[in-house]
Structure formats: structure tokens, C-alpha cells
Amino acid sequence: MRKRTTVLAAVITACALALAACSGGAHGTGGSAAATATDPAGVSGDITVLTHKTDLAADGTLARYAAEFNKIYPNVHVKFEPVVDYEGDVKIRLNSSDYGDVLMIPASVPVADYPKFFAPLGTPADLDQKYRFIDHGTYSGQVYGIAINGNATGMVYNKTVWQQAGVTSWPTTPDQFLADLQAIKTKTQATPLYTVYHEGWPMTAWQSYLGELSCDPKASDDLATDAAPWGPGKELNQIDTMLYNVVHNQLTEKDPTTTAWDAAKSGMGSGKIGTLALASWAVSQMQLAAKTAGADPASIGFMPYPTQVGGHFCSVVSPDYMEAVSIHSQHKAAARAWVDWFVDKCTYAQDQGLLPTLKTGAMPPELAAYQSAGVQFIELAQNANTQISTIDNDSEIGLQKPDYRQHIVDLARGAAGGSLDGYFADLDKKWAAAVKTAAGS
């Protein structure tokens, strides 16, 4: 299943008009989902959990988690409802009172509308001590969603391919990264880096590197006042230049218009692909692909973006879906028990190679390797998100959309006219005009 965490922000824009109906739709019946009672045996009720993880529902993984949950909460019966088109279907269901007891908050729901649909879970001051990403689920002094897991940014790579090319350590600069990819091209039969251009959404992963080159939590917020974010030396310039150079130096697939997600997985797993620019969520999928290909899943690794600050790498971490309790649930205590157990006790994050929401949670092997290597996790500030979204929409650039970086690939391979510097100048012009408009509104 395609787990497109980096695309969630783009969905907000696409669904903004459609959410007007939701905003005026079902209003809650009230009541909070207080923290789990001290006596688990006293918590009871049947609850329905809506899930986007259709694969884990089909293979019995979620059922196994529920069995573990019932060892602590024997009087709560959990039913999972897998939803294939999660964003589209659940958004519509929010117009009614029928959207389960526990659900992942659709990305298209404005934070200001959380109280209309979800029960408060507590205050940020209390929950932030225990969990990551609490600010993402908070509105007006109350927390309405807790992330089911987080993701760290970096690149998935096939260790065997890189070792065959004679590379045994992570590159620390873009130039070294390019040299390592060239070694893969020269010494192996593998494609050094596979763009997955044709699918579109994987290209948005490059935006997630913003903040890693500077190790600055304000890197995203600063875009709201920067009239030239593609100027020489700035992060977007450096990120996009590296993408351009990888393609221009013919270190990617021959024809990006024929790339496919299934081919990315099978190629990475079998050693036909060396590198994918994807976040940590993709590691477990590539390990499964390696196992399917008869290769060692441990051959799949995860490396940070090739830039260091002060002698160390940085990796931006961000939340996946936020889990919430429906304000219409008749069994809020049971629903809250599931939410708490899932982020506190469930091994989901470790099993899937994901960043645990619980701050004291054990890291999966690849992220433990990050920690051992001194990679610093940073969370980007969220203060200017709404303003940046407005500027991005007005500029018609689409930072979280594939078109913008697909054009860079096209420039690099000669499928589009113009130069990279010319494109940067055009992007800066559009962004500057939108920043000026936003400042005057």
C-alpha cells in the first residue's frame, strides 16, 4: 500500500472546498475522552476503529494487536473497518455521526474544526510530556489527535549495491553523494537512484528535506517572509540543484516517464536499484520486497540527506495520521483506551520501522542506527503553516505537489526548455509576489 505521508499536506489544498460541507455538517454530542481509567477491567464496550492500513487488516496484523490489547482490556471488543479511499470516504462520512469510535483524522479537516468532530483528549501541557507531535493535534488549548507514529526523513538504500560500488559510509556532501552514485553506475548493474517520477507523489519527498541542510526548526516558517527562497546557497536551491545534478549526470533511470511504484519496490528489494528518496516509512516495504525477491531484508538501509552541520546530520521528523476519538462515540473510555494503548504499548511503530510517538518508545533498527551515528532529529515549527499555504497557493508553485520537481527532472534530462537558474528565478519571482500580497492582506 502506498503510504504517502509527504502528500498529506497537498491533500489539504485539494479538499479545501469540499470540506465546506463537513464544516457545517455533523456537530458533536459533547463529552471528552478522558485518560484511561486506573482499572482496565472496568472499561467496556464495542468500538469500531477506522483504518487506512488495509494491508495490515488483511494480513491479520491488526487482529493480533487487538488480541494483545484485550489482555489488558478484556471487556473492550475492537472491530476494524479498513477504508481504501480513506481521505475521500471518511471526509464524506464526517457529515454524519457514523465515522467509527476511533479514526485517523483526514488531512483535509481544518484544525479549527476538530472540536466539531472529535472528543478532547487532554491539554498540550500534559500530553506533550509523553508524546511527540502534540502541537499538530491541538486547537484552542485542547488536544484532539495523537499521532499513530512519526516519520524521519532520509533516503532508503540497498546496502549490498552500495558496498559493491565500494561505498561503505554515508556521504556527507552533495558532491560525495554524486560521486557515490557514479560509482554505483560504473561498478554495478543497478540504477543508482530511481526517481519514481511517473507516479508523481514520490517527487514530493524532496520537499521534506527542507530544514535538514541547516538543522533549523524555523526553516519552513522562514519561507513566509523570504522573497527569494531559491536564491544561491539557500536550502531549496541546494535541494533542487542536487536533484537536477543527479538526473543531468544520468544517474537515474533512462526514462522517468515509465517509472512505477511496484518497480521501485521490486528493484530495491532485488538489488536493481541503489537509492530511493523516501522517508523512513518506506524501509519496511523495501525490506518486504527484499524478502520476496529472496534477498536479505537487512540489505535495506536508511541514510540521512548528504549534508552535515557542525559535524552531524539532521533528520526532520513529522507525524503520520493523528488518531482521534469520535465525539459521537458511545464508548469514549473504551475508544480512549485503544488510542492510549496503541501509542504506548503496541509494537506497530517498531514492526513497521517507524518513529514511535511515545518519546520513550524503542526505536526500530534503522532509526536506532541513526541515533547511534549521532543524527539529530528536529521538528519544524508550525507557526506559519497557514500563511505559507496561502503564499504557495497564490504563487501556483505547489511545494507539496509533484509538478514542480517533475519539471526540474525534465529540465535536467532535456525534456523541457530553459535552464535551472532561469527556473529558480521564475520561482523566486512568483514567490516574492505572493509574499508581498500576503503581507499586505
Q: What is the CATH number of the domain that holds 66?
A: 3.40.190.10
| Same domain, residue pair 160 and 279 | yes
E strand residue ranges, 248-363? 273-276, 300-303, 314-319, 322-325
Angle value at C-alpha 121, between 359 and 50, nearest 5 degrees: 90
Q: Looking at the structure, do residues 313 and 329 belong to the same domain, yes or no? A: no
Q: Are 175 and 240 in contact (CB under 8 A)?
A: no
Backbone angles phi, psi at 131, to 5 degrees: -120, 155
Query: Structurally, how many domains does the chain consist of?
Result: 2
| Domain shared by 77 and 182, yes or no | no
Q: Are residues 145 and 155 in the same domain?
A: no
Among 53, 52, 33, CA closest to 43: 33
Between 77 and 23, the more confident residue is 77
Domain range for 182:
151-319+363-441
Please indicate, yes or no, whether residues 64 and 30 belong to a single structural domain of this protein.
yes
- Report if residue 312 sits inside a domain: yes
| Residue 108 domain flag | yes
Question: What pLDDT is attached to residue 27?
Answer: 42
Confidence of residue 10 (pLDDT cuts 50, 70, 90): very low
Residue scoring higher pLDDT (33 or 259): 259
Query: pTM of this prediction?
Result: 0.84
Residues 290 and 145 in one domain: no
- Stretch 306-322: mean pLDDT: 96
Decide if 271 is inside a domain.
yes
Mean local confidence (pLDDT), 421-440: 96
Residue 172 has pLDDT above 80, yes or no: yes
- Assess whether 165 and 249 both reside in one domain: yes
Looking at residue 386, what is its pLDDT? Answer: 83
d(CA 434, CA 257): 31
Q: What is the pLDDT of residue 12?
A: 37
141 lies in a domain?
A: yes
Sheet holding 376-378, edge to edge: 150-152, 314-319, 376-378
The answer to whether residue 355 sits within a structural domain is no
Q: Are residues 129 and 155 in the same domain?
A: no
Residue 125 lies in a domain: yes
Q: Does residue 73 belong to any structural domain of this protein?
A: yes
Average pLDDT in the 153-173 region?
98
The answer, yes or no, to whether residue 26 has pLDDT greater than 90, is: no
Q: What is the pLDDT of residues 85-131, one digit of tens each?
A: 999 999 999 999 999 999 999 988 988 899 999 999 999 999 999 99
Same-domain check for residues 177 and 310 = yes
- Looking at the fold, whether 315 and 335 belong to one and the same domain comes out as no
pLDDT at 178: 98
pLDDT of residue 24: 38
Say how far apart CA 334 and CA 430 lie, in whole Å.
50
pLDDT for res 319: 94
Mean pLDDT of 248-274: 97
CA–CA dist 264, 256 (Å, integer)? 12
User: Tell me, what's the pLDDT at 34?
Assistant: 67
Query: Is the confidence at residue 21, as pLDDT, over 80?
Result: no
What was the pLDDT predicted at 30? 64
Residue 39: its pLDDT value, please?
84
Q: Of 106-110, 132-136, 183-187, where does mean pLDDT reach its minimum?
A: 106-110
- Pair 214, 333 in one domain: no
pLDDT bin (cut points 50, 70, 90) of residue 220 is very high
The helix (H) or strand (E) run that includes residue 69 is helix 61-72
pLDDT in tens, 240-260: 999 999 999 999 999 999 999
Indicate if 260 and 280 belong to the same structural domain.
yes
